[in-house]
Chains A and B, each alone.
Chain A
Amino acid sequence: MTGVWVVLGVLALGLLAGVLLQAREGRIRGGSDRPADELPVPVAEALQPGVTLVQISTTFCAPCRHARVRLSALADRHDDLHHVELDVTHQPEVAHALGVMRTPTTFAYAASGAELLRVSGVPDADALLDALQPHVNRA
């Protein structure tokens, strides 16, 4: 009988863990107050006028591919929104400096380098657009 209880317990724990993980996917967090001139060089160089979505990715990362497709499509539809993907597989210090724990993590920066928000996991395009108001004009 112990075995049955263990199975049930594991499945219950698994369900809990799974639901929590799904809830965190695409979660948008507010920007940080970190000064813009402390941005890692590759990030600072990627900034463009309007809003730049800097996606931090690594190799071996299927969700990164999803996010890239979604975000570049989103950027294509808005003149003042740009998408840049940074592969930090060989630049872990960039991930560390930004406080990135999992990939993909996408940062939205104003042209000044101010961090508007960050999203971990594959972002929901509509939720992202909403969160970026009023910095981006809705098409």
Chain B
Amino acid sequence: MPKRQIDPRGPRFAAGITTVVLAVVLITSWWPLLAAQGVVFAIGAFAGLRFSPYGLLYRLAVQPRLGPPSEREDEAPPRFAQGVGFAFAVVGVIGYATGLTTLGIVATAAALFAAFLNVAFNFCLGCEAYLLLQRFTPTRKRAEA
């Protein structure tokens, strides 16, 4: 089965929105917004980047203005990165909602750090983690690679 290829500018655009959202969460401590961001992460990770609200926004409103990309990127690493974001968002929501505010702040700050690195420097922390995992997984477990 061929691996899905995506426009690499899409995840970067999504990271930009994510950065703003997470900064607002940290400044206002309004954790329902974090929960909403968590849902966005979940859709991207489990359904696919093209179904994520930010991904849709990118394809409908931004990509037509930019024109086609010069190259495409495999979808798997950025999707894994969305999964990592989802995990942090879950921890963050639990932290804020149960009064463990420090936990909420730390989890959100970590996610913000990764999103900011992505949008500002095109460096995807989650993608790098995915590649490292691939490299250290015994070959027989990676049946589809």
Contact = CB atoms under 8 A, between A and B. Distances in A.
B27 A15 contact: no
Contacts of B88: none
Contacts, number: 71
Contact of A7 (B27, B71, B76, B117): B27
Given A14-B113, A18-B117, A7 B131 contact: no
A18 B115 CA distance: 12
A22 B77 CA distance: 20
Given A10-B116, A62-B8, A92 B135 contact: yes
Size category of the A interface is: 20 to 34
Nearest to B110: A10
B105 A62 contact: no
A60 B81 CA distance: 13
A2 B105 contact: yes
Main secondary structure of the interface of A (DSSP, over half): helix
28 contacts: A3-B27, A4-B27, A6-B109, A7-B26, A7-B27, A7-B112, A9-B109, A10-B26, A10-B109, A10-B112, A14-B113, A14-B116, A14-B120, A18-B123, A22-B121, A59-B74, A59-B134, A59-B145, A60-B76, A60-B77, A60-B127, A61-B131, A62-B8, A62-B74, A88-B135, A89-B135, A89-B145, A92-B135
Interface of B: 8, 23, 26-29, 71, 73-74, 76-77, 105, 109, 112-113, 116-117, 120-121, 123, 127-128, 130-131, 134-136, 139, 142, 145
